[in-house]
Chain A
Amino acid sequence: MVSLIEEQGQKAQRETRGETSFFTRLKSSKLLTTLFRDPRHFQITALSTLVMMGTFYYAFGLQLWHVLACVGSTVGTQFVGDKITGRKFDARSPMISALSLTLLLRTGSIWLSLAAGIIAIGSKYAVRWRGKHIFNPANVALVILALLFDSAWVSPGQWGAAPWLAIALFGLGGIVTKKASRWDVSLAFLASYAALIFGRAVWLGDPFAIPVHQMQSGALLIFAFFMISDPKTTPNARVGRILYAALVATIGFTIQFAFYKSAGVIIALVLTAPLVPFFDYFFPASRYYWPNQTPPRVTPDLKPKGVSHDTVQA
């Protein structure tokens, strides 16, 4: 017993030493800079917070197997995909897709959770146009599964419409999208959607409490800040992005209020994604790269100057 305690003590010491050396090597400020340089880290942190809230505060009944299946299948698919295409494996993007799926996809079948991850990441490799993938990975998986299987669905009501949550999402989402320089998409989407919702209320003579309630929908805000804002699948130029966001809002609104499908905006994003290359064609700008990516030699008409997106925005 004593030897066991000693052994554990040594192990703990080793671990501590290991950590200290890592910290000393990196210096804490530098560590933070490294951590927060990449917008994906913000996104992963924010989405994880939402998953925690869903589990502990909202009691969604998130199953561990669902979380693990989503993470496993997305990261696994990315690994295989990167191997085949000869790219350097990076688990961060698939983690974001996995967390989005965890948050939005509801299913009672582990096979569908696994399928979701494979479809999501698989679409990045399979459906591409000029070196850019077309569909938002989590989004396309959600829509395909929800359309094909009764046992997969999206629960737009699960977040309710609490004002405090709306404010929190604005804050959290604001930071994340600012970091990824895609706040313009989120805001343009919300503004367009709000214009339509309030316009409808005026036309119907409804009290504003109704559109306000609709705009506070947690699911809508999560979509605006964590799904449509994906820098990789939105148009490259700001004008393009704003017009695109308005289009998604309009189609989503139509699906919701003329076809009575509650997940209107999610379907709208899939439907409009194939149009993004047109937006890029009419409003050319350099493409978005994650901070650790080196912009490769790309097609001549889209000359990136080897910049991160922050430079493009400037």
Chain B
Amino acid sequence: MILSKLKLALAGGVALSMLAVAAPASAFCGFYVAKADTDLFNESSKVAIVRDGDRTVITMANDYEGDPTEFAMVIPVPTVITKNQVHVSDVSLLDHLDAYTAPRLVEYHDSNPCAPEIMEDEIMVTARRQAPVLAMSKNMESAADLGVTIEETFTVGEYDILVLSARESSGLQTWLTTNGYKIPNGADRVLDSYIKQDMKFFVAKVNLDEKAKAGGEMLRPIAVAFESPKFMLPIRLGTVNSKGSQDLFVYALTRNGRVETTNYRTTKIPTDVNLPEFVEGDFANVYPAMFSKAIDREGGSGVVMEYAWDMNWCDPCAADPLSVAQLKELGAFWVGGSGDDMQRGRGGKGMARDVYVTRLHVRYDAESFPEDLKFQATGNRENFQARYVMQKAFDGSMECKAANRYKKEVNKRQDKEIATLANLTGWDKSDIREKIKVSGVGMKFDVDGPSGDNWWSEMWGDKDE
């Protein structure tokens, strides 16, 4: 029975709350134990918002991998949306944006302390996080006159789309229910509130014929363009009946600068700290733990900025900046030039792309986020990134007096890194030491003898020797 598998057909904030239909077998509470480039955050959604003045383009990622007949979403939107305002986008687009803005690891290598100069060279290692957006669905049946008006109905790409307006929630709820959407208890109040705020409802399901024509496994992201003074993402439908918290990634692109929430505090993830070497192989665990700890400090929910940068460059780059064509595809209508001739690569300043991207990672639940997310674009162009440094010790042979002192310094430095990691993740120091032991990297040096213990013995040597 398909219907019974539908947990909830309502998507709150744009994609935000396209809820899981049938939870994937591997899902569990907490986080996936995954390699760096697989999904680290369970039950999360990705939304790109391009905003300039009142012009808004929202692209909702769709990582839904279940039976397409079960996919559906209902999203409150500020205006009626017509066929030309909807666009089916490229699957890789949000992945690229996600990768470009992802928290990153940087490595530095100590050089031989016995060689005259210590040079450091920087190698970028990155970890990216992606979020599965799961959704549920059901075929629609004929419209009933329950005070529900079907404002628009059309097919774009593999999606059949309806735009509804309603006079009151019970009619809308009845309509949705009779058309196969299982509405959770308590949703009627939220629907009612949106109806009174003159919101419309964007309802999408998969058109199987079109899906077959389009080919491919994945459902592609849906982009919606509209003009409205409301700069917000509706999350309330997604929190109805939802236990626990959900993760949402918002990638906001503006001309001016950072985007922040106006009705919740936007905080920054701790950044630019040195962490133990094993983190490189365990970033998929470390970062989520760090994020959770940062969120715990805010009371278990919050809006955290993970990246804010001028789209023209990056340093270090977790992925190339998006091309002009990609930015246009996302809805940055003002970006000049039609070609894709920008220069790529680390720190490369290419053709000016007047776009500033902010990545906000929101963890929310019904209790601490009673209200929808409201945003504003600010003129803040100060760049910010989540960047973690691994300073790797020299591991060649060291045959000189300075080596002993160097090794002690490294040992001391490692203790500090462990303390930092313990503080940022809430992990026990002994557990971290155990992880280091298991990983076999970043182990302490065995240092013997008092030589080089003090800076004066470095200068004048040990009198005992």
Which of B210-218, B283-291, B377-385, B421-429 contacts the other chain?
A: B377-385
Which chain A residues (33-72) contact chain B, with CB distance < 8 Å?
58-59, 61
* Beta-carbon contacts under 8 Å, A204-260 to B: 204-207, 209-210, 212-214, 217, 259-260
Chain B neighbourhood of A205, CB < 8 A: 189, 192-193, 196
- Across the interface, B256 reaches (CB within 8 A) one of A59, A150, A204, A262, namely A150
Contact, CB under 8 Å: A204 / B378: no
**Contacts A206-B193, A213-B371; is A155 near B263 (CB within 8 Å)?**
no
Interfacial chain A residues near B193, Cβ < 8 Å: 204-206
Which chain B residue lies CB-closest to A149?
A: B379
Is B378 in contact with A106, judged by CB distance below 8 angstroms?
yes
**Contact (Cβ within 8 A) B379 A259:** no
- A9 interface hit (Cβ, 8 Å): no
| Per-residue A-contact encoding for B349-391, CB less than 8 Å = 1, 0 else | 0000000000000000001001100101011111000000000
B370 CB contacts on chain A under 8 angstroms: 207, 209-210, 212-213
A157 touches B196 (CB 8 A): no
Interface segment out of the listed A95-103, A158-166, A168-176, A277-285 = A158-166
Is B265 an interface residue, CB under 8 A from the partner?
Answer: yes
Q: Kindly provide the distance from the CB of B430 to the nearest chain A CB, expressed in whole angstroms.
A: 30
**Is B197 in the interface zone, CB < 8 Å from A?**
yes
Interface residues of B in 299-332 (CB under 8 A from A): 299
Q: Which residue from chain A places its CB closest to the CB of B169 in the assembled complex?
A: A205
Cβ A160 vs Cβ B264 within 8 A: yes
B262 contacts the other chain (Cβ, under 8 Å)?
yes
Q: Could you tell me the distance between the alpha carbons of A160 and B268 in the complex, rounded to whole angstroms?
A: 13
Name B380's contact: one of A59, A106, A159, A160 (CB within 8 Å): A106
- Residues of B near A79 (CB, < 8 A) are none
Chain A min CB distance to B240 (Å) = 11
| B231 on the A face (CB < 8 A) | yes
Main secondary structure on chain A at its contact with chain B?
A: loop
Count of A-B contacts judged by CB separation below 8 Å: 79
Bound CA–CA A204/B266 (angstroms): 27
- Asked whether A159 lies within 8 Å of B379 as measured between CB atoms, the reply is no
Query: Are B196 and A203 closer than 8 Å at their CB atoms?
Result: yes
Could you tell me the distance between the alpha carbons of A152 and B378 in the complex, rounded to whole angstroms?
8
Q: Would you call B265 and A157 a contact (CB within 8 A)?
A: yes
A199 part of interface (Cβ distance < 8 Å): no
Which A residues lie within 8 Å of B280 (CB)?
A: none
CA distance A209 to B364 in the complex (A): 14
Given contacts A206-B193, A259-B229, A260-B229, contact A213 B263 (CB under 8 A): yes
Query: In the complex, which range does the number of interface residues on chain B fall in?
Result: 20 to 34
Asked if residues A59 and B268 are in contact (CB atoms below 8 Å), the reply is yes
User: Is B277 an interface residue, CB under 8 A from the partner?
Assistant: no
Question: Which among B229, B260, B266, B268 has the highest number of chain A CB atoms within 10 Å?
Answer: B260
> Do residues B262 and A108 form an inter-chain contact, with CB atoms below 8 A?
no
- Total interface residues on A, CB under 8 Å, equals 33
Report the bound CA distance from A163 to B381 in whole Å: 31
> In whole angstroms, how far apart are the Cα atoms of A155 and B379 in the complex?
11
Are A204 and B196 in contact, with the CB atoms below 8 A? yes
Known: A207-B370, A210-B370. A108 touches B263 (CB 8 A): no
Q: How far is the CA of A157 from the CA of B265 in the complex (A)?
A: 5
Question: Which residue of the partner chain A has the closest CB to B189?
Answer: A205
The reply on B261 being an interface residue by CB < 8 A is yes
Bound-complex Cα distance A217 to B376 (A)? 16
Min distance, Cβ A234 to any Cβ of chain B, angstroms: 26
Give, as a whole number of angstroms, the nearest-CB distance from B56 to chain A: 12
B382:A108 contact, CB within 8 angstroms: yes
Q: What are the 5 closest A-B residue pairs judged by CB atoms, nearest first?
A: A160-B265, A151-B379, A209-B370, A262-B262, A204-B193
B contact set with A: CB distance below 8 Å? 189, 192-193, 196-197, 229-231, 256-257, 260-268, 299, 367, 370-371, 374, 376, 378-382
A-B residue pairs in contact (CB < 8 Å), sample of 28: A106-B378, A106-B379, A106-B380, A108-B381, A108-B382, A149-B379, A150-B256, A153-B378, A153-B380, A157-B260, A157-B262, A157-B266, A158-B260, A158-B266, A159-B265, A161-B263, A161-B265, A162-B299, A203-B196, A205-B196, A206-B189, A206-B193, A209-B367, A209-B370, A213-B370, A213-B371, A260-B231, A262-B374
